[in-house]
A and B are shown apart, each in its own frame.
Chain A
Amino acid sequence: MGEDKFTAIIIGAGPAGSTAAYLLAREGLDVLLIEKGASPGSKNMFGGRMYSHALQQIMPDFWEEAPVERPVVREVITFITEDRSLSITCQDESWSRPPYHSFTLLRAEFDAWLAAKAEEAGAVLAYGIRVDGLLMEKGRVAGVRAGTDEMLADVVIAADGVNSIIAQQAGLRKELEPCQVATGAKEVIALPPETISQRFQVSGNGGVAQLFVGSCTKGMPGGGFLYTNKNTISLGVVVNAAALQQNQYRPVDLVEDFKAHPHIAPLIEGGEVVEYSAHLVPEAGLHMMPQLYGDGILVVGDAAGFVLNLGYQVRGMDLAIASGAAAARTIKEAKSKGDFSRQSLSCYQEYLKESFVLRDMEAYKNAPAFLENKRLFSAYPQLATSLASKMFTVDGNQPVHLLGKIIDQLKTNQVGWFQLACDAWKGGRVL
Chain B
Amino acid sequence: MLGINKFAVDDEEAHIVLKKELCALCQAKPCTRACPAALYTLKEGDISFDYAGCLECGTCRVICPQKGAINWQYPRGGFGIIFRYG
Q: What residues make up the interface of A, taking CB atoms closer than 8 Å to B?
A: 36-39, 41-46, 106-109, 111, 127-130, 146, 162-163, 165, 176-178, 181, 183-185, 188, 232, 234, 241-242, 244-252, 273-280
Please, how many angstroms separate the alpha-carbon atoms of A242 and B33 in the complex? 12
Q: Assuming A188-B85, A250-B34, is B1 touching A276 (CB within 8 A)?
A: yes
Closest CB of chain A to B71's CB: distance in Å? 12
Closest CB of chain A to B53's CB: distance in Å? 10
Whether B62 contacts A251 by the Cβ 8 Å rule is: no
Q: Assuming A130-B76, A162-B58, A163-B58, is B85 touching A185 (CB within 8 A)?
A: no
Please, how many angstroms separate the alpha-carbon atoms of A177 and B65 in the complex? 11
Task: Give the contacts of B44-86 with A (CB-CB under 8 A).
Answer: 55-59, 61-63, 65, 73-86
A-B contact pairs, 10 of them (CB 8 A): A36-B78, A41-B86, A130-B74, A183-B36, A244-B63, A249-B33, A252-B36, A277-B55, A279-B55, A280-B62
Task: Given contacts A109-B85, A130-B74, A232-B85, list 11 more A-B pairs with CB under 8 A.
Answer: A37-B78, A46-B86, A106-B86, A107-B83, A176-B61, A177-B62, A185-B36, A241-B62, A244-B30, A274-B84, A280-B58
Q: Assuming A244-B63, A278-B37, is B83 touching A183 (CB within 8 A)?
A: no
Q: Assuming A36-B74, A36-B77, A185-B36, is B63 touching A108 (CB within 8 A)?
A: no
Whether A250 contacts B58 by the Cβ 8 Å rule is: no
Whether A43 contacts B58 by the Cβ 8 Å rule is: no
B25 within 8 A of A: no
Whether A277 contacts B83 by the Cβ 8 Å rule is: yes
Closest CB pairs A-B (n = 9): A107-B86, A128-B78, A278-B36, A45-B86, A108-B86, A245-B63, A244-B34, A130-B77, A251-B36
Please, how many angstroms separate the alpha-carbon atoms of A129 and B2 in the complex? 24
Interface residues on B, range: 35 or more
For A41, A130, A247, the residue with the greatest tally of chain B CB atoms inside 10 Å of its CB is A130
From B55, B82, B85, A278 is in contact (CB under 8 Å) with: B55
Please, how many angstroms separate the alpha-carbon atoms of A108 and B5 in the complex? 13
Whether B30 contacts A275 by the Cβ 8 Å rule is: no
Smallest Cβ-Cβ distance to B3: which chain A residue: A276
Please, how many angstroms separate the alpha-carbon atoms of A107 and B30 in the complex? 29
From B77, B82, B85, B86, A129 is in contact (CB under 8 Å) with: B77
Smallest Cβ-Cβ distance to B72: which chain A residue: A163
Whether A111 contacts B1 by the Cβ 8 Å rule is: no
Please, how many angstroms separate the alpha-carbon atoms of A39 and B8 in the complex? 12
Chain B 1-29 interface 0/1 with A at a Cβ cutoff of 8 Å (1 = within): 11011001000000000000000000010
Whether A275 contacts B82 by the Cβ 8 Å rule is: no
Please, how many angstroms separate the alpha-carbon atoms of A46 and B59 in the complex? 15
Smallest Cβ-Cβ distance to A34: which chain B residue: B77
> What residues of chain B lie closer than 8 Å to A232, measured between beta carbons?
85
> What residues of chain B lie closer than 8 Å to A177, measured between beta carbons?
62
B42 within 8 A of A: no
Q: Assuming A36-B74, A36-B77, A278-B37, is B86 touching A245 (CB within 8 A)?
A: no
Whether B83 contacts A108 by the Cβ 8 Å rule is: yes
> What residues of chain A lie closer than 8 Å to B81, measured between beta carbons?
42-43, 277
